[in-house]
Structure 1
Amino acid sequence: MSNVEIIPIEDKYIEGVLNVSILSFPITWSKESFEQELSNRYARYVVAVKDGVVVGFGGMWIIIDEAHITNIAVHPEFRGFGIGSMLVDALINICKIEGVTAATLEVRVSNFKAINLYKKFGFVEEGIRKSYYEDNKEDALIMWKRNFQL
């Protein structure tokens, strides 16, 4: 999609991130949780912005040489235009720059679009977290990417 920028998060984007999160997840983080991520030295967040409006976001924690992707979401009206791929690519580039050797994430076992997106970027299925999601006790698929190259 043209005119979409992927940029580091700033506090002015928190309301937009919260809006996308509310529209994307059955249980969302609070505004305060997102605000706290701004000062979390382990957190790295990017936002997808189109015409000044947040249309997606992605975040992760980097601890030593591993990353844990915490959340990636795209506004429902902007799905299917490659913004999710742009967000994952941006996070992977941050990992490469910061010397990350492996990245992990959890994804609902029913979220086939997200699973296929992560596979496209080299994530592989390595396990299951039983009853991981609070809203419906759905299992989470644990995925890892262990092959980072500049």
Structure 2
Amino acid sequence: MARFVVVELERNSPKWTKVIDEIVRIEKKIFPKHESLARSFDEELKKRNSGLLFSEVDGDGDGHVAGYVMYSWPSSLCASITKLAVKENFRGQGYGEELLKAAIEKCRTRRVHRISLHVDPLRTPAMTLYKKLGFQVDNLIEGYYAPDRHAYRMYLDFESN
């Protein structure tokens, strides 16, 4: 596995455009058009209560995006993982797990009580990862992605102090 670091994309970062462009390419390749945020990534990230972490792979001194996770915390009680994606050639190597762990930690520091997400039940690697990190299935939402594509709503509760 190539060496990588999980980086938070800062709004005023000189890398902003380069990173967003790479993420948009990944988004277009992985997600169907109606599920893709490719057209609105820039706008989504300008919202106050949203964040994006990406894994920067150092292969040639000029890091490239191997994957990303987008999250938001619309209230002080809950947060949500809105996107998690890893380029095909980097899958199964721990990138998704490290990104998800970092996003969970970011949400934990915001003192939310619950993180939720939606996932296609047929995306077995994603389901396995979420369960491994403690997410539980809450409900099946029929027709979430399309009339014939459902989603599990999953959640991870933090213990209250």
* Contact 1:96/1:148 (8 A) holds in 2: no
CA distance in 2, matches of 1:137, 1:60: 26
Q: TM-score, structure 1 length as denominator?
A: 0.91
The size of the alignment, in residue pairs, is 148
SS of 1:60's partner is strand
Aligned to 2:25: 19
Aligned-pair CA distance for 1:148: 5.0
Query: 1:16-57 deviations in whole A, cap 9, x for unaligned?
Result: 1111112221232124x1101231111111011112111100
CA distance in 1, matches of 2:149, 2:157: 26
Aligned to 2:54: 47
Distance 1:2 1:26, change over 3 A: same
Distance 1:149 1:113, change over 3 A: farther
Structure 2 counterparts to residues 25-64 of structure 1, below 5 A:
25-27=31-33, 28-31=36-39, 33-51=40-58, 52-64=63-75
One-letter code aligned to 1:23: K
Identify unmatched segments of 5+ residues in structure 1: none
CA distance in 1, matches of 2:23, 2:67: 7
Distance 1:22 1:147, change over 3 A: same
Deviates more, 1:64-73 or 1:21-30: 21-30
Alignment root-mean-square deviation, CA? 1.7
CA distance in 1, matches of 2:159, 2:101: 12
**Structure 1 residue 83 corresponds to structure 2 residue 95:** yes
Structure 2 counterparts to residues 1-150 of structure 1, below 5 A:
1-10=1-10, 11-12=16-17, 13-27=19-33, 28-31=36-39, 33-51=40-58, 52-64=63-75, 65-134=77-146, 137-147=148-158
Aligned-pair CA distance for 1:149: 7.5
One-letter code aligned to 1:125: V
Percentage of matched positions with identical amino acids: 28
Distance 1:75 1:99, change over 3 A: same
Aligned-pair CA distance for 1:71: 0.5
Query: 1:69-105 deviations in whole A, cap 9, x for unaligned?
Result: 1000000011011000011001011011111110000
Aligned-pair CA distance for 1:123: 0.3
* Contact 1:96/1:149 (8 A) holds in 2: no
Identify unmatched segments of 5+ residues in structure 2: 11-15
Q: TM-score, structure 2 length as denominator?
A: 0.85
SS of 1:69's partner is strand
